[in-house]
Amino acid sequence: RMMKVFVTRRIPQEGMKILSSSGVTEVCQWDSDEPVPRAELLTGVHGAHGLLCLLSDKIDAEVLDTAGPNLKVISTLSVGFDHMALDEIKKRGIRVGYTPDVLTDATAELTLALLLATARRIPEGVEEVKNGGWSSWKPLWLCGYGLSGSTVGIIGLGRIGLAIARRLLPFGVKRLLYSGRTVKSNAAEVNGEFVSLDALVSESDFIVVSCSLTPETQGLCDKTFFNKMKNTAIFVNISRGAVVNQEDLYEALKSGQIAAAGLDVTTPEPLPTNHPLLTLKNCVVIPHLGSATYSTRGEMSALAARNLLGGLQGTDMPSELTA
Ligand code: GLV
Ligand code: GLV
C-alpha cells in the first residue's frame, strides 16, 4: 500500500531518487526553492504518513493535528530541531529523523572561513578594492587579529564544536576552552579545557557559539556576556540566531566593547536588509551556509529520505532523534 509523504521544498535529487524508487511512497512536494506558505504546508500534510521538512518550517500542534492520525514520521533536513514542537510530536507517538554527522565537516570548515574572514576583515577589504579605497599598501590599514597564540572558547563542544576545535589546533592556538552542560571525554584530543561560561567569555580572544538552541541557551549572549568579553575579541555564531540578543550585540559592536562578529545565523532569517547590524563594518553576516556544499547537501537529502522510509516502514532509521 502506498504511503503519502509531503516534502516541503525542492531538495537535492539524491533524496528524491531514494523516495521514488522505494515503491512505497506517493510523493507530494512543494516544488520550489522558496519556503512553503503556511496554508500550503497544512494542505500538503493533510492525511500524510510522512513529512520531510526543513529548519524554516515551523512544525507545531496545528501541523500535527492537520496531518491527522496517519502521520508516523517527521524527517528534517537539518541537524537542528528547534523548529519542531518535540513534546507535541512525542505525545502523538510520531518518530523524528534528523541529519547529524553528514554535515559536521562542512559546517566546521564554514566556521573557520567565517572566523578568519571576520578577524582578518576580508569583506571590508574586498569592498575597499571595489570602491577605490585601496590607495597603497599601508602599515596601519585593515589590520585584524590572528589565531596564532590566541585563546579560543567554544560554547558547546558537540560533534560540530569538536570538529571546529580539531581544525583550529593547526593554526597554533595556545589555549582551547570550552563550556557546556558536561565535561566531554573526547575534549582531551584537542587539549580542550572545560571552564565556566564566565571564564570562557572573559579569557577568550575568539568565541565560537556551536551549541544547540534550547530554553537554557536562548538569549545566552546578551549585554552581560558581551561586557565580559575583551575589547579585542571576535564573536562567531554558527548555531541559531536566538542564542544571541541582537540589540545587545549591536551595541557591543557599535561601542567597541568587542572587536567584531561573524554570524551565519540570525533572527529572523532572512535578516531584513535594513537591519542595524548590516550597517556595521565589524559585523560579517552570511546567510546560514554552514552545511552548504554540494556533497553535504546531497548526503543530507539522502539521509533524510532514508530516515523517512525507516519511519514509514517501522524499521530502523539511520539517524533517529531519540532524546
Ligand atoms: C543547520 O543549521 C542545521 O540545523 O542543519
Ligand atoms: C607583505 O606583502 C610583505 O612583503 O611584508
pLDDT exceeds cutoff 90 at 323:
no
All domains of the chain in start order, with CATH: 3-100+294-313 (3.40.50.720), 104-285 (3.40.50.720)
- The whole-number pLDDT of residue 1 equals 78
Mean pLDDT across the chain = 98
Residue 45 is predicted with a pLDDT of 98
Q: What is the arithmetic mean of pLDDT over 136-163?
A: 98
Average pLDDT over residues 287-303: 98
How far apart CA 114 and CA 263 sit, in angstroms, is 8
Confidence of residue 215 (pLDDT cuts 50, 70, 90): very high
Burial of 253 (0-12, 13-18, 19+ CB in 10 A): buried
| C-alpha torsion sign, points 98, 263, 192, 252 | negative
| Mean pLDDT, range 207-212, rounded to an integer | 98
Give the 3-state secondary structure of residue 206: strand
Burial of 272 (0-12, 13-18, 19+ CB in 10 A): exposed
288: annotated active-site residue: yes
Grid cell at residue 175? 589555549
Ligand 2 centre distance from Cα of residue 115 (Å) = 23
pLDDT at 36: 98
Show the ligand 1 pocket: residues with CB < 6 angstroms. Answer: 55, 78-80, 103, 290-291
Ligand 1 atom nearest to CA at 240? 2
Q: Residue 115 above 80 pLDDT?
A: yes
What average pLDDT does range 91-100 have in this prediction?
98
Q: In what order do the strands lie in the sheet with 25-29?
A: 25-29, 3-7, 50-53, 73-76, 95-97
Euclidean distance between CA atoms 177 and 244, whole angstroms: 20
ipTM value for the complex: 0.77
